[in-house]
Chain A
Amino acid sequence: MANKEILKHTLARLEKVVDKCQCSTSINRKYELNLENGRISLLRTTIDHNYSVTVIKDQKQGSISINKTDEQSINEAIDNVVEICANSEVDEAYDIAPYQEPKTFVSGDLEPDLNKMFDLLQDYVDNIKTNYPTIKLMDTAISFTVSTKHLMNSNGVDFTETEGYYDFTSLFAAKEGDKSSSFNYSSYYVRKLEKDLLSYGSLKQVLDETTNQIYTQGVADKFKGDIIITPDCMSMLVYFVVNVYLSNMPLISKTSPLYNKLGEQVASPLFTLHAAPRDERIAKGYHVTGDGFEAKNMTIFDKGVLTSYVLNQYGAKKTGLPRSNNTGGCYIVENGDTPLEDMIKNCKRGVLVHRISGGNPNNNGDLSVVLKNSFYIEDGEIKYPLNETMITLNLKDALANIVEVSKEQVNFGHEIYPYVKVKDVLISGK
């Protein structure tokens, strides 16, 4: 059966058995060139299918997902999901998306240029050998993925989404004699391969920084200072903020300190955060949410004012709060008007934070992490790369204590971030 026929078959079979149903199929083709021991070693091509169905009956819900699309497997999955649903629990918040106008979305290339992928990857390897002699490459791969997804439900929702994108990721460390840096990495998504691989994302900047991170020092004391968070590190912190404060779980359980704060100034006026899967600059976005809604861009913090949570339909119904325009990801923090150079010059004492390592924040947003690939700043100058240095902060306080946002932004293809400076963070050495 063709994929759309599978969905029609599913809806027809379940029409009189359950109250509501959502089903989807997808096919992904991936072409990936990998390095091992610093040279191109493997060409991997994969074809993956997915079939998912969610049913609701008497406000009980069941879901199943398989990677088969043959008739027998589909029929078995339909039987199983009805059984899973019957063994579920009643929850008035279970629902599917209402009718929306059927749409088809297409973005990116539909076929890879394998020879170009090989040539660009080989150029990258050669470039590293020539211009970054201390860099040792570890997991490094360039891939092209094209996927087509169909989603339908018993309310008449009918979306088709096809997207193609290239993905490059490189993990590396710098090594001189018996000294080595912490591992570091950079990755990004692009719709088309138009330039050399060093031209995208933060890759060149991260390689340059890593070569200067072999001979590290700790800070001798404990002090409150500025942290300048790089675009690479912003990704993790934004995900922490969303997961701990703004998503289904902390809002349903009311453990979020930002519960009931919609419309309030909870962050610095310099901080504006969007979740924008439809933004033109985002190479790997999405047009349809997992719960069957056409995704729209949204602003989560507008000049520090909390304007939206990140709640799907279930979270919204469960909390009585508005469903958000999308289900998160594709985050863009608006840039400011201070050049990075000035942010460093304006720093009396602090650190440039490129990567953090350690546990997740607790429910209150308290976070204590070790700095990796980071630099000590004093009197407006970067002094040396750091080892064994920790920062301790509360995410909500950090949002309120943002004092500068850089003019520069880095586009990673799925997120876009500037450098962000936060004041009064506890920085401690060994």
Chain B
Amino acid sequence: MNTNNLKEYLALLTPYTELRVQSNNIMSMAFLNGNMISNSQNRIHGVSARVYKNGSWGFASNSVVNDAGIQAVLSEAENNASFLDSRLDLRKALFNPTVGKMKKDFRSTKHPLSQGEIKEFIKLLDNYIATKYPDVMQRYVGIQFLSMEKNLVTSDGVEFYSFIPRTAIPVQLTVVKDGVPVNLYEAFGGLGEAQDFLDNPENFFPKIDTLYQELIKKSEGVMPKAGLCEVILASDIAGILAHEAIGHTTEADLVLGGSIAAEYMNKEVASPLVTLVDFANTYNGKTLTMPIYMDDEGVVAEDVVIIENGILRNYMHNKETARLFGTEPKGNARAWQFNDEPLIRMRNTAILPGKDKLEDMIASIEDGYFLTKTGNGQADTTSEFTFSVNMGYEIKNGKLGRAIKDTTISGIAFEVLKSVTMVSDEMTWAGTGGMCGKKQPIPVGMGGPSIKCKVNIGGE
């Protein structure tokens, strides 16, 4: 049988079965101070089957993808479901069937670049930094490419093919100020293959210039004054707040596991200015960084409005939790590799833009901060969060002031969203999105407007 044409196996699938062949291709190259420190490729390809039997799930996978390998995983998944069914005896019914046939291919239409061409391009960027900014004592420039290619069929009759590529060009610069190293990082890129971004190095030069100028300001920056303060969170940070601190608390598996959001359905959890959505694939007619059209349970993906005008309206589900909550799944069940089972995951999460102008928001703050870049963030099922802030500025008497040094912000996200008094009218999506961790990693998109709110900031 043709292992690229899984519908030939439909007759072998017992209700309910998912059969998925998936390939993740990863390419990584990096230069540290002009020295190539990584240059590798990794292809993870294989087949998995997941079988549902009376309330028990059996899953099996193998990296051997041929007719025998596919039949073997189908058989082993069935055996695993039977083993659990024999021990648990849950006698649960099948799910309502979901159907659909779809193909979504974001493969580049441009000619692929060779390894050598990619290397020369990255070296050009590195040389640009080395030549123009000799005071940069550490330069890190690289490229990271990930593509996820999936072929899914289910016993309900779903047939889905997708190819989603993502490219990041990370740049980190370090200068030394008063004996202490200070660095700043930015990743350029987004949905697409290397050739979609590496066409003209001069497109990157102004971005690198901006990064360097911000780094110099940061190296001369001051520590913020610690405590609760008024801030404007730019889209980079508003996006991670939406994803990390709110989004996770509204994933139904975490709701069942004790998340604070279990108590908040249809209650006011944020300022009426806040509407927060997990977009499936498209915003304002534009394809997002991580476009999901159908998930790995064969559910056609739809947007999930999590908070509507300050009221918590929806959780995110897989088939099982949707049935438990008496609702319909909307395509949030996603698996990272072929050998992973689908978990409830976000797609492209953002607060919707409001009506305020950013300059008016800055002008409205007497003593606070404009926080623009974050490195990472963590949050809790209580919605308590901590994010690093890698770039930001003081706001004094309605005007931007000195840059600030690396710091951390923290708070209870639902309280922070209640403190929102202004939301900017522009919308920015983080170009390269991010990787979310929850048993498995998964690429996600994030974005948002700038929001004015109150958070705790670390500092002196």
Contacts and interface: CB of A to CB of B under 8 A. Distances in A.
Contact of A183 (B35, B59, B258, B375): B258
A87 B115 contact: yes
Contact of A43 (B81, B183, B257, B263): B81
Contacts of A123: none
A302 to B, nearest CB: 28
B453 to A, nearest CB: 15
Most buried by A among B46, B174, B256, B386: B386
Contact of B226 (A34, A43, A122, A428): A428
Contact of B412 (A84, A359, A388): A388
Interface in A80-111: 80, 83-84, 86-89, 91
Q: Which 10 A-B pairs have the closest CB atoms?
A: A359-B388, A138-B257, A173-B258, A136-B258, A358-B386, A43-B80, A87-B116, A44-B59, A89-B36, A42-B57
B407 A45 contact: no
B258 A172 contact: yes
B349 interface: no
Contact of A83 (B81, B115, B262, B386): B115
B57 A358 contact: no
Interface string B170-192: 00001000001111000000000
Given A43-B84, A45-B76, A67-B45, A181 B115 contact: no
Contacts of A88: 36, 39, 119
Interface residues of B, number: 80
Given A66-B42, A253-B174, 8 more contacts: A37-B320, A64-B41, A66-B45, A67-B46, A173-B257, A360-B375, A364-B181, A372-B384
Contacts of B411: 388
A65 B39 contact: no
Interface of A: 34, 36-49, 61-68, 70, 80, 83-84, 86-89, 91, 114, 118, 122, 136-139, 171-175, 178, 180-183, 222, 249, 252-253, 255, 357-360, 362-364, 366, 368-370, 372, 387-388, 390, 392, 428, 430
A66 B382 CA distance: 40
Contacts of B87: 40, 118, 122
Contact of A37 (B39, B116, B324, B387): B324
B458 A44 contact: no
B204 interface: no
17 contacts: A36-B253, A37-B256, A42-B59, A47-B64, A62-B39, A84-B40, A137-B257, A138-B253, A138-B254, A138-B381, A172-B257, A359-B376, A359-B386, A359-B408, A363-B181, A366-B406, A388-B384
Interface in B429-453: 438-439
A45 B384 contact: no
Contacts of A66: 42-43, 45
A222 B458 CA distance: 12
B408 to A, nearest CB: 5
Nearest to A136: B258
Q: Is the interface of A mostly helix, strand, loop or mixed?
A: strand
A137 B381 CA distance: 12
Nearest to A314: B37
B428 interface: no
B146 to A, nearest CB: 14
A65 B41 contact: yes
A356 B319 CA distance: 34
Contacts of A80: 41
Contacts of B44: 67
A390 to B, nearest CB: 6
B407 A368 contact: yes
A173 B256 CA distance: 11
Contact of B408 (A39, A253, A255, A390): A390
Most buried by B among A48, A88, A253, A359: A359
Contact of A175 (B57, B84, B227, B258): B258
Contacts of A171: 257
Contacts of B321: 37
Contacts of B43: 65-68
A182 B83 contact: no
B41 A363 contact: no
A144 B36 CA distance: 38
B142 to A, nearest CB: 13
B417 to A, nearest CB: 16
Given A37-B253, A173-B257, A180-B260, A84 B406 contact: no
Most buried by B among A80, A253, A430: A253
Contacts of B412: 388
Given A36-B253, A136-B258, A368 B408 contact: yes
